[in-house]
Structures are given as C-alpha cells and as structure tokens.
C-alpha cells in the first residue's frame, strides 16, 4: 500500500553503496583519499583537500569512474530500496556528484537522486559545484513546506542536518564518533532494523 504524504530520504554512500573515495584510495594506494565526512565535518574543506590530492597525483575522472564501475551496491541494498518504494516515495540525497553516482543509481532502478556536479577539463577534475549549500537539510525543509512527512537515514556528519530536520531520523552503520554526538537518533546495523524503525514511524502517521 502506497503511503501518502510520506517521503524517505536516504544518503547513498555508506547506506546503499560503498564509499567511493575509500574505494579510490584502496585502488590507487593513496591513503589521504580515505577521509570522508565521517572524519571531516566541513564538506568544502574535505573537497578542497581531495582536489589538491587529485592534482598532485594526476588522477583523472576516467580513472575514478573506472573504480566506480567495479563497485556494486551494498548487499541487500536493491531489495531494501524496492521495499521502501512499495510503501513511500524515496529520494537519494547525496553529496557525491552526478559524474560518480549514476552508474550506481542505475543498479537501484533509478530512484530520484539529488546530487552535485563537477567541473572537468581534459579529463581532470578542476572544481565542484554544490547544487545548494546544505542541500540535504534544505530538501527536507522544502518537503515539509509541501506538507510531506519525512523519514531520513544516513551515516555521517553531513547527514545530521537532514536527520535533525526530518520528522524521524535514523543512523545506518554510523561510526561511534558520529552517533556519540547525536544520541537522539536510533542506530541501525542492517536493512531489516532500518525498515523496522521506518515502519514504527509509518504507523504513527
């Protein structure tokens, strides 16, 4: 049964897919690229650091896309998204980029995704463009203005604005340094647990 007036917003990396930058770090042997929003809360600081590393190491977009093409979804992610889409509208809210995300989103059956874009010259990533600042929180706020209830889930510091703005937020496999700062959100370790928290929220609508 389709649940009216309810939207689920999900982070992508760490919730539905592997962390792209960690995969690139492992493939290239560049440990500095392992840093994510679990480690650095300021996303612009994180991305400026990544761009410096890419320039220093002469890593191209096509090299990164080759790594992404070798990744799959997290085990059970496709079934989880399918179950959610039977019951509510689902939007993927991610701070990755269109040039990275689309092969992975296709594996999920092309749910709606809001993400950012890169500036690329001669196959080299020279800059990035955020759709808007703090897009995850802003999207949930906009959904509220349209009279939707929102259930949100993520795993990193850059998801906490979305979780705080939502009617119900929940962590998915978030590290202890993140959950310790936001103890008000339930922490789930698998999709069955996350679905259970969603259904508890859904029952109250």
Question: Looking at the annotation, which residues are catalytic?
Answer: 11, 13
CA distances from 88 to 181, 198, 204 (A): 29, 10, 14
Show the CA angle centred on residue 191, arms to residues 65 and 165, nearest 5°.
Answer: 85
- Angstrom CA distances, 123 to 10, 60, 132, 136, stand at 30, 6, 25, 28
**Half-sphere exposure of 126 toward its Cβ, with a 13 Å CA cutoff?**
5
């Amino acid at each position: 049964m389709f649940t009216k007036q309810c939207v689920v917003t999900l982070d992508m990396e760490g919730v539905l897919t592997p962390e792209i930058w960690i995969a690139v770090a492992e493939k290239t042997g560049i440990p500095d690229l392992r840093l994510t929003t679990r480690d650095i809360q300021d996303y612009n600081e994180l991305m400026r650091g990544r761009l410096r590393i890419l320039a220093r190491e002469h890593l191209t977009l096509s090299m990164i896309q080759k790594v992404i093409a070798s990744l799959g979804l997290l085990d059970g992610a496709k079934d989880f998204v399918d179950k959610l889409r039977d019951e509510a509208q689902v939007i993927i809210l991610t701070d990755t980029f269109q040039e990275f995300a689309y092969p992975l989103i296709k594996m999920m059956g092309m749910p709606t995704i809001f993400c950012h874009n890169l500036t690329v010259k001669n196959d080299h990533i020279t800059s990035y463009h955020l759709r808007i600042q703090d897009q995850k929180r802003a999207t949930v706020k906009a959904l509220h203005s349209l009279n939707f209830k929102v259930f949100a889930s993520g795993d990193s510091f850059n998801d906490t604005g979305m979780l705080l703005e939502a009617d119900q937020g929940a962590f998915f496999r978030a590290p202890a340094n993140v959950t310790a700062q936001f103890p008000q959100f339930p922490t789930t370790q698998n999709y069955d647990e996350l679905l259970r928290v969603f259904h508890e929220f859904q029952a109250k609508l």
